[in-house]
Amino acid sequence: MTAKSNGTSCPGRVLVYSHSWLPQQVDGVAVRMMAHVNAMRKRGVKVLLVTPDFVMEGENKEVPKFDISEGIEHVTLRTQKTPVYRKNMCMSMAFSNLRVLVQAIQRFQPDLVHATQEASLQVVVTACIYCAVPLTVSLHTDVAQIAARDDGFSSIGGSIGRLHSWISVRMVHWGYRNWALGGANFFPVSQQSLVILRNAGVSEQRVAPIIWGPMVDRDQFRVDLPEDSIVQARKKLTFGMPESYLMVYVGRVTAEKDIQFLLDGHKRAPKHVVLALIGPGSMADELKQFHGEEHRLYCTGELASREEVALFLRAADLHVSASRMETVGFTAMESISCGTPMLAANAQGFAMYLTHGVNARLFTPGSTESYDRELAEMMATKLEGKWSRESLRSTMEMASIDACTDRAFQAYLTSPAKDWRYIRLVVSLFYFVLNWFCSIAFQ
């Protein structure tokens, strides 16, 4: 650590590994890590970014276009589908990737490595032990919830596929404990992340005493966006329907996000309510056929830029999500920063970071009666007084990027394990080989 930044010790050099970075990966990991890397750069921290190359052998050979800020060096690693959750990609569990990481660390000489939790993280763990560099792992995703709710989590299917998923979740928890034993410190993104780590049996000594918490770019997501652009965005999403009530969902259009619950609720809603689903996903192709004024459904399955998302959220009367597996709920923070209230399932991150009756209304997960009641209450609420757009926005001050950067720097101060390094290296290499073998078996 070097000089102070906003009163917090600031690292001089940080190597960041993020398994999610491409614009089409519309998840909170990519949004958060992009914002964090840029925030560190603005504070004078030297950053080396490492990501998968997102090129799958036998599929698309075209190298994707990365959005990398000027002044940030970028290194890519070979890519594979995640061993179980085949919809996602991660770095390959390969010795070639280990060699590239070791060379990058030795050349860049970072004060620490910050990596996002993913299936092949043993590569990073091993490289950091070998190079004697502290490792901070940020925990973003509740894999157990995804496995429980997504029928496509395992590519095998049937009872064997369910057993495959069950074993995989236990292996994930085993991986968390193994990374901790290897010397990694965990940086929980949310209170839910703490629960996940405790359930996995990770020692509290290996968890940073601070939570990253909600993060939102309050300069981009704000109330005072250009009025003419807001009007055009609303006209687009409502098909120009007069006196419509616009509900917007932003994120992956997939089964585990409980999209079907929203669709069923939309059928029961008043006829002037329009539901806009913004984002791609496995359900999008099927839903495109219902896109149009007749069904009061906007769903093209296409990507939206961050600028478009901000306009869509600001143009909406309500932001809605029935998902029960959000560790934080990024789009909720973005919506509220735009002054648009939230209707969400009372679960996980939504329950922890939204306040019922203040900036959101929370319904009982899976309950149609509770959803309909809270939607009716929200539709009857005027955006004025304590529900004014400015009042809603004020509840997200703690989620500013600057505040989140300060919290990250505090987490980086957590002391890494330095004893028994060679023993830890041997153990880590053993688990690396074991993971390598398993990744081949699951391909």
> What is the per-residue pLDDT for 86?
58
The answer to whether 12 and 42 have CB atoms below 8 angstroms apart is: no
Residues forming beta bridges with residue 13, ordered by sequence position = 46
Least confident range of 169-178, 188-197, 357-366:
169-178
Confirm whether 135 is domain-assigned.
yes
> What is the per-residue pLDDT for 352?
83
DSSP category for residue 182: T
Q: Look up the CATH number of the domain holding residue 256.
A: 3.40.50.2000
State the CB neighbour count (10 A cutoff) for residue 243: 6
Confirm whether 222 is domain-assigned.
no
33, 129: one domain: yes
Confirm whether 386 is domain-assigned.
yes
240, 303: one domain: yes
- Cα separation, 226 vs 218, in Å, equals 15
The answer to whether 313 and 340 have CB atoms below 8 angstroms apart is: yes
Confirm whether 220 is domain-assigned.
no
Confirm whether 32 is domain-assigned.
yes
> What is the per-residue pLDDT for 381?
96
The answer to whether 81 and 89 have CB atoms below 8 angstroms apart is: yes
162, 271: one domain: no
Structure tokens at 322: 């029935």
- Cα separation, 391 vs 223, in Å, equals 10
Sorted by sequence, the CB contacts under 8 Å of residue 98 that are 6+ apart come out as 123, 126, 127, 432
Structural domain containing residue 284: 227-398
388, 406: one domain: no
- Cα separation, 88 vs 76, in Å, equals 17
Position 336 confidence tier, pLDDT thresholds 50, 70, 90: very high
> What is the per-residue pLDDT for 148?
58
With 60 as the cut, is the pLDDT of residue 11 above it? yes
**What is the total count of domains within the chain?**
2
Strands, sheet with 245-250, edge to edge from the N-terminal-most edge strand:
297-298, 273-278, 245-250, 318-321, 342-345, 360-363
302, 407: one domain: no
Confirm whether 432 is domain-assigned.
yes
pLDDT digits 0-9 by tens, 27-62: 678 888 999 999 999 999 999 999 999 887 766 666
100, 58: one domain: yes
With 90 as the cut, is the pLDDT of residue 271 above it? yes
0.85 exceeded by pTM: no
Give me the mean pLDDT over the 213-236 stretch. Answer: 94
Structure tokens at 62: 């075209």
Residue 278, classified by CB atoms within 10 Å of its CB into exposed (0-12), middle (13-18) or buried (19+), is buried
The answer to whether 237 and 347 have CB atoms below 8 angstroms apart is: no
> What is the per-residue pLDDT for 366?
93
> What is the per-residue pLDDT for 146?
62
- The radius of gyration of the chain's CA atoms, rounded to the nearest angstrom, is 22
Give me the mean pLDDT over the 354-366 stretch. Answer: 95
- Cα separation, 10 vs 211, in Å, equals 17
367, 430: one domain: no
Mode of pairing for the β-strands spanning 112-116 and 135-139: parallel
Residue 189, classified by CB atoms within 10 Å of its CB into exposed (0-12), middle (13-18) or buried (19+), is buried
- Cα separation, 53 vs 229, in Å, equals 35
Nearest to 223 by CA among 140, 156, 316: 316
393, 431: one domain: no
Confirm whether 22 is domain-assigned.
yes
140, 275: one domain: no
Element (H, E) at 79: strand 79-81
Domain termination site, one of 398, 413, 430: 398
102, 207: one domain: yes
One DSSP character per residue, 44-61 reads T-EEEEEEE----TTS--
124, 162: one domain: yes
24, 141: one domain: yes
- Cα separation, 214 vs 438, in Å, equals 35
> What is the per-residue pLDDT for 440?
62
- Cα separation, 312 vs 278, in Å, equals 9
Phi, psi for 271 (deg, rounded to 5) = -70, -10
Confirm whether 221 is domain-assigned.
no
Amino acid, single-letter form, for residue 422: Y
